[in-house]
Amino acid sequence: MGRIIDQYIRNAEERARAEKIEALAARFAERAAEHDREGSFPHENFAELREAGYLKLTVPSEFGGDEASLHELVALQERLAYGDGSTALAVGWHIGQVLHLRTTRKWPDRLFSELCQAIVADGAMINTFASEAASGSPSRGGKPETTAIRQDGGWLITGRKTFSTLSPILDRFVVTAYIPEEETTADFLIYKNERVTIIETWDTIGMRGTGSHDVVLNGVFASDDSRLSGKGADDGGGWLLHIPACYVGIAMAARDFAINFAKTYRPNHLQGPIAELPMVQQSIGQMEAELRTARSLLYAAADRWDQEVDNRPFLKPELGLAKYVAVNNAIKVVDIAMRIVGGASLSKTLPLERYYRDVRAGLHNPPMDNTVLHTLAADALNETK
């Protein structure tokens, strides 16, 4: 029997890449407990990802990148998360956003080609800092309190962003800011300088190694051409599937841990390991059902997005559903895995309790459950005969 994690590998090229990433993930897994305990950013993991060429995974081939498909992104992100959820989620924002920029071309050409060249040559990374304490999740339409005020040749950006994943490592990032004189919100590309301060606020129960601190912008100058157009093709947000891929990867790690435990743990009143007990097999079956359902939807959505280029804007409900099912099922899988293992699952010396804390964060990455359900309901209500 092949491994469940390999189910969606389609060819030798994908297998080779997957094996390379799997080796990295195994090393990340060895460091994950310490970064989780300390709440520290895993700089060494990112050095290895850079060295392995992973940071250019989604960069267009014209700039020397691998131009990977969404299907492949999902498969590789699952593997990384199998080793360390925090590292996977954090790098997922980067490779996901580059995929998004590649398909929408929403940035001015010069800025996009500069970014791609910096990723390929120096391993630069990117993320968007849009969340704020007062506006909540940007996906719900809140207006940023960060402002952009007109200056000669550019803008002065002032405000404070929360949940700024990758903040310890980025030398450039995108922020959303409100422009009072235009009564509009725009994205700006910011290069880190002395007017940018990272306040180390990230102290959460899960995803502790993502470095998602607050970022304070104290009148940072952004030149005119760093105002990003925000236009370009609507790609339906397929790149956000890096999120469910991450949480499914964590769930697969929990599932494998529980299965190995069940196959080897034999209390002295039993003749064989607990895996022989019908009730444990029932639980394993439940994990499989949750995981296989989640992954079927996840890869179906990724494949449709890859293939149906013109249909991408209309795939939002499918993409949202894939995320909704994947994250909720992943939470259930980790829960069942812990029930199989029993009281030992609570031990800080085993990874299950970290998976339990990490997987929970998926509920608070976009699109949130109520947004997905609202989209599905709107679709149903707008159906025509």
Ligand X SMILES: Cc1cc2nc3c(=O)[nH]c(=O)nc-3n(C[C@H](O)[C@H](O)[C@H](O)COP(=O)(O)OP(=O)(O)OC[C@H]3O[C@@H](n4cnc5c(N)ncnc54)[C@H](O)[C@@H]3O)c2cc1C
In the bound complex, what is the minimum distance in angstroms from residue 149's beta carbon to ligand X? 21
Instruction: Give the closest residue to 323 by CA, choosing from 254, 252, 237, 382.
Output: 237
| 365 near ligand X, judged by CB under 6 A | yes
Our CB check for ligand X shows the closer of 133 and 270 to be 133
| 87 near ligand X, judged by CB under 6 A | no
Buried (b) or exposed (e) across 196-233, using 16+ Cβ within 10 A?
Answer: bebeeebebebbbbbbbbbbbbeebbbeeebbbeeeee
In the bound complex, what is the minimum distance in angstroms from residue 52's beta carbon to ligand X? 22
| 172 near ligand X, judged by CB under 6 A | no
Total residues at interface with ligand X (CB under 6 A)? 23
Taking each helix axis from N to C terminus, what angle separates 85-104 and 109-122, rounded to the nearest 10 degrees? 140
The values of phi and psi at residue 179, to 5°, are: -105, 100
Among 45, 97, 146, 165, binds ligand X (CB under 6 A): 165
Our CB check for ligand X shows the closer of 253 and 262 to be 253
Our CB check for ligand X shows the closer of 131 and 146 to be 131
Our CB check for ligand X shows the closer of 144 and 304 to be 144
| 77 near ligand X, judged by CB under 6 A | no
In the bound complex, what is the minimum distance in angstroms from residue 35's beta carbon to ligand X? 14
The pairing of strands 128-129 and 172-179 is: parallel
With the CA atoms of 71, 72, 75 and 81 taken in that order, what torsion angle do they form, in degrees rounded to the nearest 10? Answer: -120
In the bound complex, what is the minimum distance in angstroms from residue 258's beta carbon to ligand X? 24
What mask of x and - would describe binding to ligand X in positions 119 to 138, judged by CB under 6 A? Answer: --------xxxxx----xxx
In the bound complex, what is the minimum distance in angstroms from residue 51's beta carbon to ligand X? 23
Among 212, 226, 329, 345, binds ligand X (CB under 6 A): 212
| 361 near ligand X, judged by CB under 6 A | yes
| 97 near ligand X, judged by CB under 6 A | no
| 99 near ligand X, judged by CB under 6 A | no
Q: Provide the residue type at 158 as one letter.
A: T
| 69 near ligand X, judged by CB under 6 A | no
| 364 near ligand X, judged by CB under 6 A | yes
The values of phi and psi at residue 369, to 5°, are: -55, -45
- Cα 18 from Cα 9, distance rounded (Å): 8
Judge contact between 91 and 28, C-beta under 8 A.
Answer: no
Using the contact rule CB under 6 A, the part of the chain among 24-32, 276-284, 310-318, 358-366 near ligand X is 358-366
- Cα 166 from Cα 212, distance rounded (Å): 6
249: its two tokens: 């990867």
Strand partners, 349: none
In the bound complex, what is the minimum distance in angstroms from residue 364's beta carbon to ligand X? 4
Our CB check for ligand X shows the closer of 185 and 212 to be 212
Our CB check for ligand X shows the closer of 130 and 302 to be 130
| 370 near ligand X, judged by CB under 6 A | yes
321: its two tokens: 């559903």
| 317 near ligand X, judged by CB under 6 A | no
| 292 near ligand X, judged by CB under 6 A | no
| 140 near ligand X, judged by CB under 6 A | yes
- Cα 265 from Cα 342, distance rounded (Å): 11
- Cα 218 from Cα 220, distance rounded (Å): 6
Among 103, 146, 210, 345, binds ligand X (CB under 6 A): 210
Our CB check for ligand X shows the closer of 129 and 261 to be 129
Question: Where do the DSSP E strands lie in the chain?
Answer: 128-129, 147-151, 154-164, 172-179, 184-191, 196-199, 213-223, 227-228
| 103 near ligand X, judged by CB under 6 A | no
In the bound complex, what is the minimum distance in angstroms from residue 30's beta carbon to ligand X? 22
- Cα 256 from Cα 81, distance rounded (Å): 13
Q: Which residue is nearest to ligand X (CB)?
A: 136
- Cα 204 from Cα 364, distance rounded (Å): 12
Q: Which residues bind ligand X (CB under 6 A)?
A: 89, 93, 127-131, 136-138, 140, 163-165, 207, 210, 212, 361, 364-366, 368, 370
